[in-house]
Structure 1
């Protein structure tokens, strides 16, 4: 198991290197620059800023300098937020996005698991197609539609919850953003678990065990759940990374100071270092969660460890 984990972990290093390299050169190839704006800067000021941030150096030198700083844990200064390092900006925004994402992930696993299991175990009855159609709606409606509808219903019309903002001492601020983040994932997890559980229960050895009188509860808990949750685990890698780094749309709609706000503004303003920092964080989380998924796969299916 240890060698299996080490192989998976070592394969993440070239993946992150390629991700950083592609992002670095694609950002530089995009039209515009970090100091282009509606108001044109005087040539002397723009030249001074270019020298200060070493943008006058050859591209290959900028790339090597960035890799050198990155090796020491320095993501560089922000070009738009004067006086701030990228690590400071990400450090301030990450706890907010992590709080929302963790709550949304827990809610997705809980409700998605319950809905998927009920639909699979009641296959052929009225509740199965009902839940299937409800989850289809959840998959089809994107976040940028769900979030304003939640605000309109629960904040504007009913007045039960705040429409936006973020206060650490007011837990109600999290309710609508967490629901908006979780609803699509609840639908995905429910559908994956339903299909996986139905396929597992249809295997010959489980059908034989059920025909011999093994109770359905024991059949699911002892035998069917392992193969049934494998598709859900595969989905959780990128889904968890996306939830934990914050949804751009949801954070913008609810005015939440998370990573989504910085990522959008950095992309619009060509803040090279902040975009690179956000992409690197997101890529690292995807690699990390996929690594955890591989370990879970290896624990649930030992055949993968010897493949």
Structure 2
């Protein structure tokens, strides 16, 4: 086995981002016989990591977590970038492609509180903290009597704020908690029938330079086809709706009995109304299914639907 570096993996420096990068590193090492030192991690601080005082929707949206990694890829200082799939913008910079996805984790959101056993059990007027406009809208849809406030920071920071009593409850992704070994904090798991997740939730996406066949070929051994179909549908759905951090959109695709099913949801920011769609078809038609689902919702959305 050669001692030289095989691939440089770019990642943000948060605990969750590092957990995802290490998972990618382990899978690549196992697939190709590389030692960890042959697959070094390069930590890159993104604009999104530095903004803690306001919602990302007010600062520019999803690209805030990818811009600096994109630059590093295009400049050649890293060979691939590991992302939470739900952080990726719908349109990537020219020269960068999504190589694929690792096998998907649990897609569900979880409820965490020291005051109640479930979202429905919170007392009237209780404070729920979350940075996600989708989660804010879905909470308000189910419990319009609750007060929903901005809660920024990484997973550990949000849990610490909950423990200090700054909020009565928060919502996080089960996938992130599993990757961090923090599932003991979970109070209740939210069923996707009641609380549809974000597009891409639970999936680790790997970006690379377009046309870099050496890297793309090496990655193919660790990528998951089923997750690829699901994300192709979900991202096509999001693209039609021009989805960003400024839009309360949820979407989840999965294989059911050989067919791909996508469920989509768009909500008024105050949760007072929502439009839903379901499409089913062949996995090979994933992107078309997502596109059709998005067009369906867009055609039914009245003017001003997304206004606060």
Calculate the TM-score normalised by the size of structure 2.
Answer: 0.23
Bigger Rg, structure 1 or 2:
1
| Higher relative strand content | 2
User: Which structure is higher in helix share?
Assistant: 1
TM-score under structure 1 normalisation?
0.23
Q: Say which structure, 1 or 2, has more relative contact order (CA 8 Å, 6+ apart).
A: 1
